[in-house]
Structure 1
Amino acid sequence: MPVDDVSPLPKSRTRIPVVIVGAGQAGLSASWYLCRAGVAHVVLERHTRFHAWKNQRWDSFCLVTPNWQCRLPGFPYAGDDPDGFMPKDEIVDYVEAFADSFDAPLRESVTVTRVERTEDGRFDVDSDGGHWSAAHVIVASGGYERPVTPPFAADLAPSIAQIHTRDYRRPADIPAGRCLVVGTGQSGVQLMEDLRIAGRDVALAVGPAPRSPRMYRGRDATDWLYEMGYYERTIADQPDPKATEAKTNHYMSGRDGGHEIDLRKFARDGLQLYGSVTGMDGTTITFAPDLERNLDDADASYLGIRKMIDAYIDDNGIDAPPEPPFEKVWRPETEITKIDAEAEGITSILWCIGFRPDYGWLRVECLDETGRPIHRRGVCDVDGIYFLGLGWLHTWGSGRFLAVGDDAEHVTACILGRLGEDTHGQRFG
């Protein structure tokens, strides 16, 4: 397969077949396949490799999926606890060992400032550490660049501290007093629990996130779902792909061996729950009257997964221990829609409502009106632009260790095919 030489162009622009933007597990998975194929490329990372794992996770962070699902290219999990859940330091060790297993052409502390298509169909890639002309650009910068806070957060009294998930490391980061955790995706419920374990005073604003069983009928629910083929279902198989892409992850925990999280039990044991936050003005915080509905919807998701597993067990005659029926141990007597944070002793807000990607440097018509990439399994209609590492890029596991390598293999296979379309290397080299 012909591959262009990496040679300088006028104005110090280097001609190269492939540029990868981002050196997380997605970008380095693509690099692993390109290295194996002998294709010249460069991986540009504005921080250091795996920066988010090292510097943007709290101390007690651990995987919520079992270790056996860690399947980076040529580097499956090989530890002695496949059914366990790696804590942060072990995750870092795993991804670092993966990166050390091959010689990626990585350039760290290089920020890409512009990617733009040129008249000849190539792409100018500019950064604060060099300039390239590439036939193919893989965008693997992830979907967690910009922390989300609502506009009305600016109206909260400055006496109440505001912290985002990305900046939380440990309970000591939270000022004395009650902390209102906003959001019930995986981060929100785990940080609420982290604070409670430390004996801190916490309240929780409950959003519409779904929840999942942990252990069910003798096995981890994710084991059942994998065996059932659930994780092989593609985004194209979903009734409403756009809605599926936008869904919040089911909440549960891998902490202390793994457990499910039932917010009703926390409320029964004294945790103050509110509905979704709708506004802030000084020390006044308002909530939607949706607490009970959000709890009911989370339970419906939980029960739906149990029902799927039950049906699979029955259909296949599997001998699995029965489970007691689910019961709601608590329900709100009233819906609180307004509080005075100062009167409630709230001294801080911990925002756990997600992130958005930042594609401000990507000057190519490959995004929809909401800023989401337009692609089919990471391959854009714009020849030469690809995405990796996004949730539901192709399957549920696309943004996780489970399937990011599969998507990287697909994208790099497309690149290899296109590189081979022109034996002179004039278009794709």
Structure 2
Amino acid sequence: MKEFIIIGAGQSGLAMAYNLSSNNKDYLILDANEYIGAPWLKRWDSLTLFTPTEYNHLPGMKFPFPKGYYPNKYEVADYLKSYVDKFSIPIEFNQKVTSIKKVNGIFDITTASTNYKAKQVIIATGPFHTPYTPPCHADIAKDVVQLHSENYKSPSQLQQGDCLVVGAGDSGVQILSEIADTGRTVHFSGTNKIKAIPQAFLGKTLWWWFTKIGFLSVNRFSKIGKWLSSGVQPVIGTDVKSLLAKDNVIHMGRTLSADESSIKFQKGSVSSIRNIIWATGFKPNFFWIDGISFDEMNYPSNYRGVSNDIEGLYFIGLPWLYTRGSATLGGVYKDAQYLMNYISENVKAA
């Protein structure tokens, strides 16, 4: 039995591991993937971070690139691997947790192949679990290539013919831009009233301004934090107005329905689409944890990562766990430090 088990070896789990190591705690990380950084490497090939190097440091180790540089997915994965190696973080891979239940004060953790026990558990699986695709995708002709953004890599996956990109978030807009740059006709489904902000302004990076005005430190329980966390997040670093003005980009509004011959949108029907990228997000899935309740965003009920339902259960890496930076590579360290302090005080009190 371990004193702590962390579920998930992404940046959140690693930040928590660093704190546990620094406090000489006995712990183990369980991860569903085959190797460190796998979720990053599975994303599309041209992906880069919105945050420059100086805002991507995990505790105890700086991101090894010049200030102002925007790392790609391969560099992020390499950084996470180097982090694990530097601090000798214990991880067991290929261990997808299927259930967690607290019995007689001890957590019983089950995977497909193994059973683990721990006094305390930290959930660091992030917010992106189950890819969501609208139900009408099942009505589309079978010879149309359909990919969720989770499985999209590059335009080379697409067959000849028109493409449809569905989704007006960061992923949808970036993928739309990449495919449009190939000259292919791309239909876009989603709102055209997208809030977009540049990566730099007046010679300073966006994140420098965010830090300067205190945007990243506003907590979700404040009046401003409640307003920011409940609104649609802006797209960063893409000139959306120019993108949607391209001759080969056709805005169709919301997707309504589909059949074998065409797809119906707010602005009409299209029968020429041969490829679809569903950048329609993910649904959280924490139903494998027994005995927890959920908040208004369908995330486990907690205060700053401490479960409201089960003593000894913690969460880290969720969007707006406490601030806008809670789910970012360079912002998660604050939540990890808070949880470590909470745990230390709780252990002393016990």
TM-score by length of 1: 0.76
Instruction: Pick from 8, 16, 23 the counterpart of residue 37 of structure 1.
Output: 23
Residue 191 of structure 1 is matched in structure 2 by: 175
* 2:99 corresponds to 1:114: yes
Q: Is the 8 A contact 1:156 1:281 kept in 2?
A: yes
Q: Is the 8 A contact 2:292 2:301 kept in 1?
A: no
Shift of 1:269: 4.1
Q: Is the 8 A contact 2:166 2:172 kept in 1?
A: yes
Shift of 1:370: 6.3
- Counterpart CA distance in 2 for 1:17 and 1:236 is 31
Shift of 1:123: 1.6
Residue 269 of structure 2 is matched in structure 1 by: 339
Q: Is the 8 A contact 1:136 1:415 kept in 2?
A: no
- Counterpart CA distance in 2 for 1:395 and 1:370 is 15
Instruction: Pick from 310, 323, 348 the counterpart of residue 395 of structure 1.
Output: 323
Q: Is the 8 A contact 1:209 1:249 kept in 2?
A: no
Alpha carbons of structure 1 residues 143 and 59: separation in structure 2 relative to 1, 3 Å? same
* 2:315 corresponds to 1:350: no
Q: Is the 8 A contact 1:27 1:388 kept in 2?
A: yes
* 2:85 corresponds to 1:100: yes
Residue 112 of structure 2 is matched in structure 1 by: 128
- Computed over aligned residues only, the root mean square deviation of the Cα atoms, in angstroms, reads 2.0
Shift of 1:247: 4.5
Residue 240 of structure 2 is matched in structure 1 by: 262
What are structure 2's unaligned runs of at least 5 residues? none
Residue 413 of structure 1 is matched in structure 2 by: 341
Once the two structures are superposed, residues 325-355 of structure 1 have per-residue CA deviations (whole angstroms, 9 ceiling, x without a partner) of xxxxxxxxxxx2x213x2xx21011000111
- Counterpart CA distance in 1 for 2:296 and 2:324 is 23
Q: Is the 8 A contact 1:115 1:364 kept in 2?
A: no
TM-score by length of 2: 0.92
Partner-residue secondary structure (3-state), 1:71: coil
Q: Is the 8 A contact 1:392 1:398 kept in 2?
A: yes
Instruction: Pick from 129, 132, 137 the counterpart of residue 121 of structure 2.
Output: 137
- Counterpart CA distance in 1 for 2:184 and 2:49 is 23
Partner-residue secondary structure (3-state), 1:235: coil
Once the two structures are superposed, residues 366-405 of structure 1 have per-residue CA deviations (whole angstroms, 9 ceiling, x without a partner) of 3247632111111111211111111111111111112111
Q: Aligned residues, how many?
A: 347
Shift of 1:193: 1.3
- Counterpart CA distance in 2 for 1:356 and 1:373 is 13
Partner-residue secondary structure (3-state), 2:235: coil
- Counterpart CA distance in 1 for 2:161 and 2:262 is 17
Alpha carbons of structure 1 residues 354 and 409: separation in structure 2 relative to 1, 3 Å? same
Residue 280 of structure 1 is matched in structure 2 by: 258
Shift of 1:268: 4.6
Residue 371 of structure 1 is matched in structure 2 by: 298
Partner-residue secondary structure (3-state), 2:195: coil
- Counterpart CA distance in 2 for 1:248 and 1:85 is 24
Residue 160 of structure 1 is matched in structure 2 by: 144
Greater gyration radius? 1
What pairs up with 1:1-400 in 2 under 5 angstroms?
Answer: 15-47=1-33, 48-54=35-41, 56-80=42-66, 82-118=67-103, 120-207=104-191, 209-239=194-224, 241=226, 244-245=228-229, 247-253=231-237, 260-288=238-266, 336=267, 338-340=268-270, 342=271, 345-368=272-295, 371-381=298-308, 382-400=310-328
Alpha carbons of structure 1 residues 421 and 240: separation in structure 2 relative to 1, 3 Å? closer
State the one-letter code of the partner of 1:115.
I
State the one-letter code of the partner of 1:411.
L
- Counterpart CA distance in 2 for 1:199 and 1:189 is 16
Q: Percent same amino acid at aligned positions?
A: 29
Shift of 1:131: 2.1
Q: Is the 8 A contact 1:114 1:362 kept in 2?
A: yes
- Counterpart CA distance in 2 for 1:386 and 1:353 is 28
- Counterpart CA distance in 1 for 2:225 and 2:176 is 31
- Counterpart CA distance in 1 for 2:70 and 2:108 is 42
- Counterpart CA distance in 1 for 2:163 and 2:323 is 36
- Counterpart CA distance in 2 for 1:356 and 1:195 is 25
Once the two structures are superposed, residues 131-152 of structure 1 have per-residue CA deviations (whole angstroms, 9 ceiling, x without a partner) of 2332211111111121111122
What are structure 1's unaligned runs of at least 5 residues? 1-14, 254-259, 289-335, 423-429
Partner-residue secondary structure (3-state), 1:97: helix
State the one-letter code of the partner of 1:408.
A
- Counterpart CA distance in 1 for 2:297 and 2:333 is 27
Q: Is the 8 A contact 1:251 1:261 kept in 2?
A: no
- Counterpart CA distance in 2 for 1:138 and 1:186 is 29
Over 4 Å off, 4+ runs: 243-248
Partner-residue secondary structure (3-state), 1:76: coil
- Counterpart CA distance in 1 for 2:151 and 2:96 is 21
Once the two structures are superposed, residues 235-278 of structure 1 have per-residue CA deviations (whole angstroms, 9 ceiling, x without a partner) of 1124573x75454432133xxxxxx3223553254421121223
- Counterpart CA distance in 2 for 1:196 and 1:57 is 19
- Counterpart CA distance in 2 for 1:143 and 1:247 is 17
